[in-house]
Structure 1
C-alpha cells in the first residue's frame, strides 16, 4: 500500500503538528476529533498527541452512531457500577472496565507506541482513524494513512487488526489500481464477506473489454469467492490443485469462458470495521464501465464442478502427503499418485520428460530397453554399484512405473532377482504396472523355464537367430497364460538377454523344481543349445553349474551330451524380431570349440543316489515329427503343477516386531524363528499361502537384514533356518516391540 501512502520510509512517524491551546470541548453530545497538537486533560492525564474522538456520540443522528472508539469522560466515574468485559467484538471503549479505560487513556497520552497492551487498545485507536479517514476525509488524508501504516507495523502479530487494516487499504487503493495488472489473491483476506475490490474490478474489466475469462481469471474468482468451499485435497495441495484446475479448465473451455455483459455496473463499498456503515468507493477514472462478475449466472456452479473433480483426482496424492509431509512431495512415490494430466505436464519438472519419452517410445515399439544405471539417473536415483539395486530404490521405481501405466522386468515382485546396477531393464505398456497373482503357479513355472532357456541361449557369449527361434516357439505354446502374462514373459527374456552374467538366482530356483518339470527344463535347455550347432565349452559349464545347483553328479552332464542327436531340421525363425529386436546380417559363423568327452572319462553313477533318466530318444523322435514343443509345457501344467495354498498358523506376537517388513514377511520370519529349522517345502507352502514368492520372500527378508545388521538372517537350503549369530539380535527386536 506504500504506492498511495506517499511516504518513503514506512517506519517513519509522520511529524506532529505544532502544539496549540486545547479546543473548548463540551462534555456530552456529539464527539469531536482531537487533532495532533491539541492538549486535552482527562482524569488528570494530559494528552497531546490527538488522533481520537472525544465526547459521547459519533455521528449526527443516534441511528448512525459509531461509539466504539469514542473516549467518553462520563464513563470514568469511579462510583459507577462495574460492567462485564466479555471481550466484545468489535471492542468498545464504553464496555472496557474502568481500569482498562484509564490504561487506554494513558496509552494514548504516550503516543500509542507501547506494544505491551491488550489488543483492544490498537483496535479502538484504528476504529477512530478509520472513521475519520473514510467518513470525514473521503480516504484522501495522507497523514492518517501514514499513522495507520505505523500502527500496522507496530502490531504486526495481531491478526484481527491486520485483517481490518488490509481491508481498509484495499478500498483506499482502488483509485490507484493500474489497468491490465492481475491482482494477487490474499489468502489472509479469504474470510472477508466479499472478494477484494481489486479482484472484482479486474474481472469486471475482463468481462467489459474482452467478454471472456481465461483459466487464471477463473482460478482467481474461485479462490476469492467465499461462496465456494474447496475440498481438503485442494486446500492441502494448493500448488497441485491450481495446476490441475488450469489444465481442466482449458480442456473444458479452450477459448476461455464466454461471459455476457452484466445488466448493472460494479459498485464497490467499504464497510467500517465497527460494522456500522458501508461507504461507497469511487472507481479509478480510467476504468469506464466495469461489469459486476457477481451477477454472471452459473459461473460459480461450473467452476465448482471443475474444482470438485480436481479435488477428487488429487485425493490419493493428498492422503499420501498427509502421511509423509510436504518434504516428500517430489518423491517418485508421490509423483506416481498425481493425476495423469499433471504427471505428463511440466508441473513435475524433469520427470515429465521421462514420462513423455516413454509415451513416445511405446508408439513405435511394444518394449523399451535401456541400462538400469541410465534409467535410474533419469529418475534422479542411484544404483550404488554394479550389484543388486537397493530394495527401497526398486520399490520407488515400481511405484513410479505402476502409476505411469508401465510394467518392467526384472521385477522382484513377480520372480527371481531384481534390478542390477549393470543390468538392463525392459519396460512395456500395462495398466497399473501389469500386476499379477504371485500365487499363480502356471506363470511362475513358465517364467522360470523361459529364464533358463534364455540363459542357455546367451551362455556361449552370443544369442543368434536359431536359438531365439526355439525360445520364441517355446513361449508361443503357453496357451494357458493370459496376454499380460505373455507380455511380461517377453520382457523377462529381453531383459536377461541384455544383462550380464546373472544366472545365480535362476539356478537356485531351478534346483528346487519338481522332477517332472526338471526333466522338461533340461529338454528345452538342450533344444536351445543345439539349435545353432554343437555344444561348446561355455554351454557345458553352464550345464555343470545347473546340475551342481540341483546336487546332481556332473557325470550326468557328460551322459547327456553323449545322447545328443543332431536335429533333423532347423527351427523356423519367424517372429525373431519380437524377441531379439533385429536380425544380424548373414555371414559365416566362426566354428566353436567342440567338447567331446572321452568314453573312459565317464564314471558310473554311484548308488544309492537316485538318477532320473530322461528318454531323449523319444524327444528326438518328437522333434523329427515336428511336434510342437509347447505341448510339453501343457503336459507339465496338467500333470505336475499343483497350486498349493494353506493357512499359516498365526502367532500371538504382534506383527510389528520387525519394522521395515510388511505383515507377510514378518509372519514368515517369525515362523522360522519360533519353529527352528523347517523343511523348504513347508516354507514354500507358507509363503504361497501368504501370496508371496518363496525365493522373493527370502531375498526381501535378507535385504532387510542387511539394512539392520549388515548380514543375512536366513540360511537357504533343504532346511530354512535362522543364522545362529543373528538369533540374539532378532529376539532383542521382538522383546523391544512387546
Structure 2
C-alpha cells in the first residue's frame, strides 16, 4: 500500500530528480510544492555535453536576493533554469512559492514549469494516477493563461497526446472525455478528437448526436452564428433532437483511406515521441484519419443551421435581456420541441391566463401583456417589446393585434391590444403574403372612413368583416389575423398622420384600388355622412388626387376604371384625338358594382402588396425640399432633412440609414449621435434605437409628424 506523501518541506541540497505533487521543498528560502525536477541537470545527449535539461532546478545556482523580472526581459524563447539570469530564477521561484496562480507574469515562467510536466509524463512514464495529476495541472495552467496563443497551442497539443494515451483505459462514451475535448479546442481539429472519431469508425460504431455535435463544434470550417454560442445548451439539445429524428440508429461514416499518425515534439524542443494509434479489442486495427471527410460535417452543418434558425428569436431576446433566461417571454420563444427539456410552470400559467382573456373578448391592456412577459412594467412600449410579446404568444398558439411588424402603428401604453386564438403554434409571424399586408393597410383606410362620423353602425362592421372574408390570396391563418386587426382598428382608430405617411408613397398607378376601397366603405351603410366625405377628401388630397372627384365617385357608387382628368385639355398642334372623359352615372347606386368593389380585392392586394414590398427595399430619393419646420428647430438643415425622412418609417436597415445619411453629406455614426442628442434635449429620449438596423421612436415620430402635417389639414 503506497505511503502518503510527506508534507514536511525538504532541503533541495541532496535531491536529484522528480519531486512529486504533495511533497514540499525549500530552495533559496522559498518553500513550494513539488511537480518539478530538482538537482544537477542532465545533459541532453548521451555524450555528456550540450545543453542542460531546461526544467531542472539546480540548487547550486545563484538566486537574486532582491528585485524581480516579472516581464521576463531576461528570458529567452526556450528558457532553461540553468541559463536564465539570477533575477529571473528569483522570479520563477517566487511564482512557484505563490502556488503557480499568478497569470500576470511572463508566460515563459509557466513554460519553464511545463517543460518538466511534459518530460515527466512522456519520458518517465509515471503511474496512471500521477498522469492524471499532471493532466489536471496542465488543464489548469491552460485556463489560467487563456489569452496567450502560445500557451493555448503548446499546452493544447500536449493535452491531445495525453488524452490519447489515456484513452486506452477510458471509454469513448465518458462525458469527461467529450467535455475535455470541447474545452480545449483550438484553431485546428483536436488530435484527440481525430483519434476518438477514427477509432469509432475502425470499430464499426455509428456516431450519436453528441459526437457529431462535438465534431462540428471543433471543426475549423464550422459556421456558427450567435444562437449556437449564446444558447449553447439549448442549441445542443435541439441539435440532438433533430439528429435523432434523422438518424435513429446513429450515423454510419465510411472508412477513409488515410491513416492517422502522430509524432509529438516537446514544447521544450528537447525530445520527440510517437504514439502507436490502434483500435479494436486486440488493439490491432489501424485508426483512419477523419480530417478530410466532408459529408458528416455537411450533415452536421445542415442540422446546426436549422437549429440556429429556430433559436434565433430566443437568442435575440437573451441578447437584449442578459438575465432573461427562464422568463415567460424567453420560455415562450424557445422552440416548442424544447419545452419538455426546459419546462416552465410560468409558461403554463400564461397559457391559462391568455385563454381566459380570449374567452372574455380578447381586449387586454397592452401594458399588462408586456408586463407579464417581462416580469416588470416598462415606462413606455417600443416595437421590440411588442414584437417580442407577439412572437412569444404565437409560440403558444395565440395572436396579438395590432400586428407589430406590419400595422401602421403600435398601441400606446394606455391602449389595449387584441389577443386571439390562432389554433396552432406559429414560429415565424413575419412570414406573410403580400395580399395580407395589403389588406391590412386597406382595413386601416376603411376603418378611418368608418370612424369619421364618430359612430360605426352594424352595417359598416358587417361590410368590413365581409371585406376580410372576401380577401383572396391569403391563408386561413392570415384571415384570422386580419379579423383581429380589424377588431383593434375599430377600437383604436388609425389617425391621418400615420395614413398620410403611407399614402404619400403611392404612385398614380395604384390610386384606383385605394379609391375603390374607401368608396365601398362609405357606401356600406347606404348613408353618406358629411364627415365621411371630409375624411375621403383628406385621403384623396394625400394621394394628390383632385378632391372634386370624391363627389363623383361617391355619387356613382363606383370608381371609373379608366383615365381620370387631372386638368382640362388645352389646344395643341394637331394630333390624335383624346378619348372622351368617362362620365359618372347619376341616379341610384349600382349595388352590383359596389359588391364587385368589395369582393375584388385581388387587384387591390396585388397593388398594395407592391407598395409594401417597395417600402421594404426602398431606395429613397432626396428628401423633400420644404422649409425647416419649427418642430425641427435646433438641427441644421442637413440633419433636419434626415429626420424628416426618418420619421416616415418605423425601422431602417443599417444600409438604408447609411444611404440616406450619405445623401445629406453626413456620416452615419455622426448623424446618429447628433440626432439622438437633439432628441434627448427635446423629448428626453433617443429618436433612433439600434436593433436589427434602427428602430424609430414612435412617440417622437408621431409628435413630429403631427407638427409637420398642420399645414396639410
Alignment TM class, shorter chain as reference: 0.5 to 0.7
Shift in CA distance, 244/88, structure 1 to aligned 2, threshold 3 Å:
farther
8 Å Cα contact 2:63-2:90 kept in structure 1: no
Q: Superposition pairs for residues 147-226 of structure 1, below 5 Å?
A: 157-159=144-146, 163=155, 170=163, 173-174=166-167, 177-178=170-171, 180-182=173-175, 183-186=177-180, 187-191=182-186, 195=190, 197=192, 199=193, 203=197, 206-207=200-201, 211-224=205-218
Hey, what does 1:630 align to over in structure 2?
596
- Could you give the per-residue CA deviations for residues 473-505 of structure 1, whole angstroms, max 9, x where no partner exists? 666887xxx6249996774445445x6962644
8 Å Cα contact 2:54-2:80 kept in structure 1: yes
8 Å Cα contact 1:705-1:713 kept in structure 2: yes
2-structure distance, mates of 1:61, 1:446: 96
Shift in CA distance, 426/408, structure 1 to aligned 2, threshold 3 Å:
farther
Hey, what does 1:704 align to over in structure 2?
700
- Could you give the per-residue CA deviations for residues 635-688 of structure 1, whole angstroms, max 9, x where no partner exists? 9x99xx999999742573326987996575799xxxxxxxxxxxxxxxxxxxxx
8 Å Cα contact 2:363-2:419 kept in structure 1: yes
8 Å Cα contact 1:39-1:48 kept in structure 2: yes
- The reply to whether residue 124 of structure 1 matches residue 99 of structure 2 is no
Hey, what does 1:371 align to over in structure 2?
362
1:434 to 422, 432, 435: 432
- The reply to whether residue 33 of structure 1 matches residue 14 of structure 2 is no
1-structure distance, mates of 2:167, 2:651: 66
- The reply to whether residue 483 of structure 1 matches residue 485 of structure 2 is no
Hey, what does 1:600 align to over in structure 2?
none
Hey, what does 1:91 align to over in structure 2?
79
- The reply to whether residue 303 of structure 1 matches residue 296 of structure 2 is yes
2-structure distance, mates of 1:204, 1:93: 40
Q: How far 1:54 sits from its partner (Å)?
A: 1.4
1:68 to 35, 49, 54: 54
8 Å Cα contact 1:451-1:493 kept in structure 2: no
Deviates more, 1:390-399 or 1:467-476: 467-476
Q: Superposition pairs for residues 544-555 of structure 1, below 5 Å?
A: none
- Could you give the per-residue CA deviations for residues 599-640 of structure 1, whole angstroms, max 9, x where no partner exists? xxxxxxxxxxxxxxx999613xx45xx6662258989x99xx
1-structure distance, mates of 2:298, 2:98: 53
- The reply to whether residue 654 of structure 1 matches residue 639 of structure 2 is yes
- The reply to whether residue 524 of structure 1 matches residue 524 of structure 2 is yes
Q: Which is greater in Rg?
A: 1
Q: How far 1:213 sits from its partner (Å)?
A: 0.8
Give TM-score, length-normalised by structure 2: 0.52
Q: How far 1:301 sits from its partner (Å)?
A: 0.9
Q: How far 1:96 sits from its partner (Å)?
A: 2.3
Q: What secondary structure sits across from 2:17 in the alignment?
A: strand
1:618 to 568, 585, 588: 588
1-structure distance, mates of 2:63, 2:708: 93
- The reply to whether residue 274 of structure 1 matches residue 304 of structure 2 is no
Q: How far 1:145 sits from its partner (Å)?
A: 7.1
Give TM-score, length-normalised by structure 1: 0.51
Q: How far 1:57 sits from its partner (Å)?
A: 0.7
- Could you give the per-residue CA deviations for residues 236-274 of structure 1, whole angstroms, max 9, x where no partner exists? 557266456546645654432214678999888876442
Hey, what does 2:38 align to over in structure 1?
52
2-structure distance, mates of 1:173, 1:509: 69
1-structure distance, mates of 2:32, 2:481: 88
Hey, what does 2:127 align to over in structure 1?
140
Q: Provide the aligned C-alpha RMSD in A.
A: 7.3
Q: How far 1:212 sits from its partner (Å)?
A: 0.8
Q: What secondary structure sits across from 1:216 in the alignment?
A: helix
- The reply to whether residue 714 of structure 1 matches residue 706 of structure 2 is yes
Q: What secondary structure sits across from 2:523 in the alignment?
A: helix
Shift in CA distance, 423/60, structure 1 to aligned 2, threshold 3 Å:
same
1-structure distance, mates of 2:95, 2:476: 85
**In the comparison of the two structures, how many residue pairs are matched?**
552
Hey, what does 2:631 align to over in structure 1?
none
Shift in CA distance, 384/114, structure 1 to aligned 2, threshold 3 Å:
closer
